Structure 1
Amino acid sequence: MDLRTAVYNAARDGKLQLLQRLLSGRGREELDELTGEAAGAGTPLLIAARHGHLEVVEYLVDRCGASVEAGGAVHFDGETIEGAPPLWAAAAAGHLDVVRSLLRRGASVNRTTRTNSTPLRAACFDGHLEVVRYLVGEHRADLEVANRHGHTCLMISCYKGHREIARYLLEQGARVNRRSAKGNTALHDCAESGSLEILQLLLGCRARMERDGYGMTPLLAASVTGHTNIVEYLIQEQPAPPGPPAGLPRRGEEEEEEEQEQAAARAAGPRESCCPASREAAVEALELLGATYVDKKRDLLGALKHWRRAMELRHQGGAALPRPEPPQPVLAYGCAREAATPEELEALVADPDQMRMQALLIRERILGPAHPDTSYYIRYRGAVYADAGNFERCIRLWRYALDMQQSSLEPLSPMTASSFLSFAELFSYVLQDRAARGGPGTQIGFPDLMGVLCKGVREVERALQLPKEPGDAAQFTKALAIILHLLFLLEKVEASPEQQHFKHQTVYRLLKCAPRGKNGFTPLHMAADKETTSVGRYPVGRFPSLQVVKVLLDCGADPDSRDFDNNTPLHVAAQNNCPAIMNALIEAGAHMDATNAFKKTAYELLDEKLLARSTIQPFNYLTLQCLAARALDKNKIPYKGFIPEELEAFIELH
C-alpha cells in the first residue's frame, strides 16, 4: 500500500493518530499531494466529512492546509457524486457538527457539485432537518438554487416526503410554483410521492395545478403512480385548503414576482382549478388510476371499481362527456376497443386479457404517445406475453411501442435504444431455444428480424440528420452495435433471394450514412472487434463475426476505412487475432501494408504465438504501387501537389 492510499484510508476510518503519524513533518508540496484528490476517490478531507470524522476534518484543514472547497467523487447509496465539496458530503450524510466546522473554516454554503446540487439540497434529499435549519437560518443558504434538471430544494423534499423540511422551506419563502426543466412543480413531486399532508400544505401556500412538459397535472401524476389518497382528495368536493403556515415571511422581490405571476395568469384567462377537479379531469384521473391498478398493482377488481366510478361520472346528469376513439382498431391490442357502456365494462370481468388491453388503450388516450409510461407499459405487457411463451403477441406489442417512440421521441433516446436492445435479446433467446429443441418451434423468422433492423437503420439516419453530431457517442455506438447484432442473428434464419436482396439494400442504406462509433469505428471496424459482443445484460451475437464482415463487404463497406488512430478494419481484426476475417478483408482489397498512426501494419499487430502469423504472408499481397508509396514516405520525398489527389491518398494509406 502506498502512502497516499494509507492517508486516504486513515481519513475514511477516522484514525486521527495514524493520520498524524503519516502526515506530520511533511513539507507543503508533499502535504498538498497527499491530501489532494485520489483517482476517482475524492480527497481525504471529503471522505472524512462524508463519514462524520470531525477531529480528522479539523486536523486536515487546520494543520495540513487542506482546501475546504476542493471537490471530488463521493459515494452515496450506490451512486457516485462527482465534484462534491466536503460541505456537501457532510450535509448529505447529516453530520451537523462537521457542517458547522467547515462553515466556520470558510466553506461556501452554496458551493455545488457537477450536477449543480447544493449542500442544502443534499440535506433536503435525505431529510436532515437540523442541517437544513442551520444552513438556511444561520448562513442564509439559497433556497432556489436548482440542480441541472431544474429541481429545487422544495421539490426534492416534497418528492422524498419530508414534511417538516417542506414546511420550513415554505416558511422561509421558497417559491411554491417554481418549475423544473420538464415543467413539473413541487405539487407534481408531492403527488408522485403520495404525501397528502405535504400536498395540503402546498395548496395552502397557493400552489397551482399546472401541467408539466408532458401535459400532466398533479392529479394525473398521482393516478399514474397509483396514489389513490391524492386522487380522492383532489377530485372530491371539499372546503378550500388551509392557509399558509403561520408567520410565513415574504421577501420583497419574491412577493412581487409571485404577484406578477398571478396577474399574468389572470390576464391569460381561467386556469384549471386545483380543488376540486373538473368533472372531465376527475373522469380521466379515475380511468388512468384504473389502468395503474391493472399494470402496476395487478389488482383487476380494484381497476374495475375505479372504471365504474369514472363511467358513472362521465354520464352524470344525463349529459355524457365525449371520449375520443382511435381512428382505427390497433392490431397490437387485438383490435380491442374501450368499454362504452356499463354492460361492456362488467363483461370485462370474464376476460382478464381484455382488461389489460383496456388499460393500454386508456393510457395511450390520456397520456398520449410521447409520455414515457405509454410505451413503457406496452413493452411491459409484451414482456409478460414473452414470459408465457407467446412471442408473436410480444413482438406485435413491442413493434407498436417502437413505432410510437420513433414518431414522438428524439433520435436515439434511451427509451428507444432500450426497445431495440430488448428485441435483439428476445430474438437471440428464441433462436437459441429453437436450436436447442432441434426444430422450428416458435415462428420467428426473417420478416421479424428484418422489420426491426430497418427501424434501427432508420434511427441512425434520423440521428445523423440532426444539425449537430449525435449528443451521446456511447449511445450512438451502442445503436450501431445492436444493428450488427441483428445482422448476426439474420444470418441464422432462412431467407429467399428477394429477402436477401432487401437485407443488402438496408445494409447499403446504413453504410451510405457513413456512421462512426467510438474512436471513429465504422460498422466494419466494429464487426471485427470483440468489444461489440457486449451490448446488454444478456448475450446476443458473438464478435468478431466473419458472417457480418462478409455482409458488410458485400454491401460496399470500405475495407481500407480508417478510425481516429488510422487503424483499418484489418488492424482491428489483427488485434483480435482473427485470421479468417483478415483473409476476408484482404480478398476484398484491404492493403496488408497499410500503417496506423503508430506506423504499425496489421501483420505487426498479430500475436506472435498465433499460427496465422505464419500462414498470412504480407509479401504475397504487396504490389509495386505499395512498395513505391512506402519508398516515398520512407525517404521523405515531397509528392503533394506533384501527383493526382487519388495517389496522394494512396501514399498516405501506407
Structure 2
Amino acid sequence: MCSCVLLIKCLCLFIFYRMLVEVVYQFLRWTGSSVRRYLGASPASGDRKTERHKQIYLHSNKGKDEVSMLVAAKTSGVTPLVIACRNGHYDVAEYLITRCHADIEQPGSVIFDGETIEGAPPLWCAAAAGHLNIVELLILKGAHVNSTTRTNSTPLRAACFDGHLDIVKYLVCNGADIEVANRHGHTCLMIACYKGHIRIAKYLLSLSASVNRKSVKGNTALHDCAESGSLEILKLLIENGATMDVDSYGMTPLLAAAVTGHSHIVEYLIKLPHLVQRSERIDALELLGATFVDKKRDMIGALVYWKRAMEERYHGIGPPIVKQKAKKVAAYDYAVEITDPEGLDDLMADPDEMRMQALVMRERILGPAHPDTSYYIRYRGAVYADAGKFNRCIELWNYALDMQQSMLERLNPMTQSSLFSFTELFSFMMGEEGKPTTRGRVVPPVDFEDLMKVFYKAVKEVEMGNQMLERMPNVERDVTYLSRVVVITLHLACLLTRLLDNPRSTEEMSEKVHSAIYTLVKLRVRSKLGRTALHLACCVEASLVGRYPACQFPSPHLAEVLLRVGADPNARDEEGNTPLHLAGMARPCPAKISQVLLERGAHIDLVNNNGDTFTSLLEAGQRVHELVNTAKYTRLSCLAARVIKQFKIPYKGHVTSSLEPFIQNH
C-alpha cells in the first residue's frame, strides 16, 4: 500500500514538472530564447543572470500584447508564474514578473499532497511549498500578503500547515494577519496545533493569537491538539488560557482525545480538576476503552480503562454516579451496559459481547448525531461481513443508516456511503452466492426483504434530498450529491430486478418491486445535466465503481421496469439527449437496451442539441441494422417530420402548437 502511494506521488510530481517545463519551453520558444540556457540559471548567477535576461528580452520578436497573453494563459488551470512559484524556480518567476510583467495576483489550481487547491495565488503557492526566496520576491514586487485561495486560505495559513517557520515570520513581519481563518473557520493557530508544529504555535501565541477562537463547527485549537495527539502544544495552550469548551457535537477536547485513542492526552487532562469534572473523567475513560476495543483491538487495555471508570463512578469523591438505563437495541443483540466489576471480568470470555458494550457506550456518550457513532457501527458490521456473518452486518448497517437519516441533513456524504456499502454487499452476495468465504462460511442468497428495506430508505433519501434542493435558490442549488444518491438507488433497483429473474421469485415480490420503482419514477427527479432515472439506467457513466459490480449500466432489466411503471422513453436532458442517445454512446451499444427502449416508444430519429441521432452516435463499425430493425421502429409521423425539416418547409403556425416540438426534434 505504501509503495503504491509513493509511486502515485512520484508520478504526480513527474507530470507536474513535465508540465512546468513544457509551459516555460513554449513561452521561451515564442520569445526567441534558449530554454536550455535559461533553465540552467540559478539565483546566485548575479550579473550574468541579469545580462541573460536582458538578451532574452531584447531578442524577443513578440509584441507586448502577445507576451502578456502568453504569460496570462493557463495550462491545466495554472499560469507559468503559478507553476514556477509552486516548484521553486526562482529565475523563471523573476523573469516572468520583471520582464514579462506577469500578474502576481493571478491565481491557478495547484496540487499539494494529492489535493487540488483552487484559486491559489502565486504567493500562496510559494509559501505552501516552502520557497522563502520566491516569497520574498513576490512581497518585494507588491504581492498582497493576505491574498486567499477559493477556500479563503491565506499564504500564512499555508506556511503554518507545512511548518515553514521562516516564511511564517517573514509574512507576519510584512503585514500578514494571523487571525484570518479559512472558510471552515480554522485559524493559523488551529492548523499549527493540528499538524504538531510547536515552534509555529509558540510564535503565534507570542503574538497574542486568539487561543479560544472557534471554527464553524465549534472546535478550538485545544480540540485540534487533542485530536492530533500534540501534548506539548496542548500544555502550551493551557498555559496561555485555553479553556475546555464543547464543539457543535458537544465534544470537549478530552472526549476528542478519547475517541481518537490518544491516551496520553486523556491521562494528562483528567488530572486537571480545574478543567475536568468527575463525570467528564468517567465518560473519557469509558470512551477510551471503547476506542481500544474498536480501533486498537486491545481488549485488555479496554478493560483496564472501563474498570477505572467504574471505580471513579461508584467509589470516587462524592455520591455514586449511576448509569442511566438505555433502551435495548436489536442491532446490538440487546446488550445492556455492565454496572459491576464482576461483569467486566466476565467479558474476557465473550469478545463479541465486549464489542457490543463498546458500541452501546459510544452511542450513550457521543450521541447518535456524532459521526463516530454510526461509523463504528458500520465498521463492526463490516467485520461481521468479513467473517461471513452477513445477517449481523445487515442488521447493524440498517441501524446506522436509520441513525444517519434521522440525525444528519439530507444527502449527507455519510448517508451516501452507507447506501453505497449496501450496494457493494448485496452485489458481492449475488456474485458469490453458494461459494465459501475465507472463514469457511457459505455466502447465502440475498434476502429479498433486506434489499427492499434498503431500497425504500434510498428512495426516501432521494425524495427528501430533492425537496431540500427545491427549496434552495437556483444559485445555491448543487445536484452533485443528489445525482450520486439517485445512481446508488438505481443500482439497488437493478439488483432487485435481478432477483425477479430468480426461480425463487414470486408474483408478490414482482408487485413490490414495481410499486417501489414507480415511487421513484413519479418523483421526476433530475440529476446532473437534467437526466432522469431512465437516462441514468441507459448511461454507461452511471455505473458505480465498486469492488463487486453485479449490475452494469446500461441495464436492460432496469430500463424495462422503469418504462413499465411510466418512465418517459423520449425525455430529454440539458444536452437534448434521450435515453436512446445515451445508450448509443456506450462502446459498444448493447442490442438489448436499444430494443427495450424502442419497443416502449422511443423515437429512433430524434436529434439532440448537436444534431446527432441514435444511429449517428453508434461506435464506428457498429451498424444500426445489426442492433434493431429500423424499418419496424420508423413511424410515418417521424418520416413526415424529417421531410419537413429536410426541405425546410414552413410549419410554424401551420400545424398545432403541440406538433411543433415534435417536428423540431426530428
Partner SS for 1:416:
helix
C-alpha contact (below 8 Å) 1:160/1:193 kept by paired residues: yes
Q: 1:211 aligns with which of 223, 242, 246?
A: 246
- In structure 2, do the counterparts of structure 1 residues 423 and 109 end up closer, same or farther at CA, with 3 Å as the change threshold? same
C-alpha contact (below 8 Å) 2:24/2:80 kept by paired residues: no
Indicate the residue corresponding to 1:606 in structure 2. Answer: 618
Alpha-carbon deviation of 1:445? 2.3
Farther-moved stretch of structure 1 (517-526 vs 22-31): 22-31
C-alpha contact (below 8 Å) 2:488/2:544 kept by paired residues: no
Q: 1:480 aligns with which of 486, 496, 503?
A: 486
Farther-moved stretch of structure 1 (173-182 vs 116-125): 173-182
Q: 2:495 aligns with which of 489, 499, 510?
A: 489
Matched residues in 2 for 1:319 and 1:566: separation? 72
Partner SS for 1:621:
coil
C-alpha contact (below 8 Å) 1:528/1:573 kept by paired residues: yes
C-alpha contact (below 8 Å) 2:159/2:168 kept by paired residues: yes
- In structure 2, do the counterparts of structure 1 residues 14 and 121 end up closer, same or farther at CA, with 3 Å as the change threshold? farther
Matched residues in 2 for 1:636 and 1:611: separation? 31
Q: Percent identity?
A: 52
Alpha-carbon deviation of 1:443? 4.1
- In structure 2, do the counterparts of structure 1 residues 436 and 346 end up closer, same or farther at CA, with 3 Å as the change threshold? closer
Q: Deviations over 1:446-500 (max 9, x none)?
A: 1122111111111100101111279543322222221222222223334221121
Indicate the residue corresponding to 1:6 in structure 2. Answer: 25
Matched residues in 1 for 2:288 and 2:22: separation? 59
C-alpha contact (below 8 Å) 2:244/2:275 kept by paired residues: no
Indicate the residue corresponding to 2:564 in structure 1. Answer: 554
Indicate the residue corresponding to 1:198 in structure 2. Answer: 233
Q: Does 1:120 pair with 2:126?
A: no
Matched residues in 2 for 1:142 and 1:540: separation? 54
C-alpha contact (below 8 Å) 2:128/2:158 kept by paired residues: yes
- In structure 2, do the counterparts of structure 1 residues 308 and 164 end up closer, same or farther at CA, with 3 Å as the change threshold? same
Alpha-carbon deviation of 1:567? 1.5
Indicate the residue corresponding to 1:147 in structure 2. Answer: 182
Q: Deviations over 1:537-581 (max 9, x none)?
A: 553421111111111111111111111122211222222223322
Matched residues in 2 for 1:43 and 1:622: separation? 52
Matched residues in 1 for 2:272 and 2:84: separation? 53
Alpha-carbon deviation of 1:597? 1.9
C-alpha contact (below 8 Å) 2:218/2:246 kept by paired residues: yes
- Structure 1 portions without partners, runs of 5+: 239-274
Kindly report the root-mean-square deviation, in angstroms, between the aligned alpha carbons of the 2 structures: 2.7
Q: Does 1:225 pair with 2:260?
A: yes
- In structure 2, do the counterparts of structure 1 residues 343 and 490 end up closer, same or farther at CA, with 3 Å as the change threshold? same
Indicate the residue corresponding to 2:378 in structure 1. Answer: 379
The one-letter code matched in structure 1 to 2:89 is H
Farther-moved stretch of structure 1 (642-651 vs 88-97): 642-651
The one-letter code matched in structure 2 to 1:455 is K
Number of residues of Structure 1 aligned to a counterpart in Structure 2: 614
Matched residues in 2 for 1:361 and 1:126: separation? 39
> Residues 250-649 of structure 1: matches in 2 within 5 Å?
275-316=274-315, 317=317, 319-327=319-327, 329-434=328-433, 441-466=443-468, 467-468=471-472, 471-493=477-499, 494=502, 495-536=505-546, 538-576=548-586, 577-607=589-619, 609-613=621-625, 616-630=628-642, 635=648, 637-639=650-652, 646-649=658-661
The one-letter code matched in structure 2 to 1:232 is E
C-alpha contact (below 8 Å) 1:524/1:559 kept by paired residues: yes
Matched residues in 2 for 1:350 and 1:6: separation? 70
C-alpha contact (below 8 Å) 1:16/1:56 kept by paired residues: no
C-alpha contact (below 8 Å) 1:225/1:292 kept by paired residues: yes
Partner SS for 2:145:
coil
Alpha-carbon deviation of 1:139? 0.8
Alpha-carbon deviation of 1:109? 0.6
Alpha-carbon deviation of 1:592? 2.4
Q: Deviations over 1:328-364 (max 9, x none)?
A: x111111111111111111111111111111111111
C-alpha contact (below 8 Å) 1:151/1:180 kept by paired residues: yes
The one-letter code matched in structure 2 to 1:40 is S
Matched residues in 1 for 2:27 and 2:370: separation? 46
Indicate the residue corresponding to 2:8 in structure 1. Answer: none
- In structure 2, do the counterparts of structure 1 residues 505 and 156 end up closer, same or farther at CA, with 3 Å as the change threshold? same
Matched residues in 2 for 1:514 and 1:400: separation? 29
Alpha-carbon deviation of 1:39? 2.5
Alpha-carbon deviation of 1:200? 1.9
Matched residues in 2 for 1:126 and 1:537: separation? 35
C-alpha contact (below 8 Å) 1:481/1:535 kept by paired residues: no
Farther-moved stretch of structure 1 (582-591 vs 374-383): 582-591
Partner SS for 2:433:
helix
Alpha-carbon deviation of 1:513? 0.7
- In structure 2, do the counterparts of structure 1 residues 213 and 117 end up closer, same or farther at CA, with 3 Å as the change threshold? same
The one-letter code matched in structure 2 to 1:380 is Y
Matched residues in 1 for 2:618 and 2:90: separation? 56
Farther-moved stretch of structure 1 (42-51 vs 113-122): 42-51
Matched residues in 2 for 1:433 and 1:348: separation? 35
The one-letter code matched in structure 2 to 1:145 is V
Q: Does 1:163 pair with 2:198?
A: yes
TM-score (norm 1): 0.88
Indicate the residue corresponding to 1:244 in structure 2. Answer: none
Matched residues in 2 for 1:538 and 1:390: separation? 18
Indicate the residue corresponding to 1:268 in structure 2. Answer: none
Indicate the residue corresponding to 1:259 in structure 2. Answer: none
Matched residues in 2 for 1:559 and 1:206: separation? 66
Matched residues in 1 for 2:318 and 2:144: separation? 64
- In structure 2, do the counterparts of structure 1 residues 598 and 619 end up closer, same or farther at CA, with 3 Å as the change threshold? farther
Partner SS for 2:123:
helix
Indicate the residue corresponding to 1:176 in structure 2. Answer: 211
Matched residues in 1 for 2:635 and 2:442: separation? 50
Indicate the residue corresponding to 2:118 in structure 1. Answer: 82
Matched residues in 1 for 2:450 and 2:368: separation? 23
The one-letter code matched in structure 1 to 2:593 is I
Matched residues in 2 for 1:193 and 1:614: separation? 62
Matched residues in 2 for 1:234 and 1:3: separation? 54
Matched residues in 1 for 2:238 and 2:272: separation? 15
The one-letter code matched in structure 1 to 2:321 is L
Alpha-carbon deviation of 1:37? 4.4
Farther-moved stretch of structure 1 (644-653 vs 562-571): 644-653
Matched residues in 2 for 1:14 and 1:312: separation? 69
Indicate the residue corresponding to 1:31 in structure 2. Answer: 67
- In structure 2, do the counterparts of structure 1 residues 304 and 6 end up closer, same or farther at CA, with 3 Å as the change threshold? same
Matched residues in 1 for 2:656 and 2:442: separation? 57
C-alpha contact (below 8 Å) 1:15/1:56 kept by paired residues: no
The one-letter code matched in structure 2 to 1:44 is P
Indicate the residue corresponding to 2:6 in structure 1. Answer: none
Partner SS for 1:315:
helix
> Residues 86-101 of structure 1: matches in 2 within 5 Å?
86-101=122-137
Partner SS for 1:599:
coil
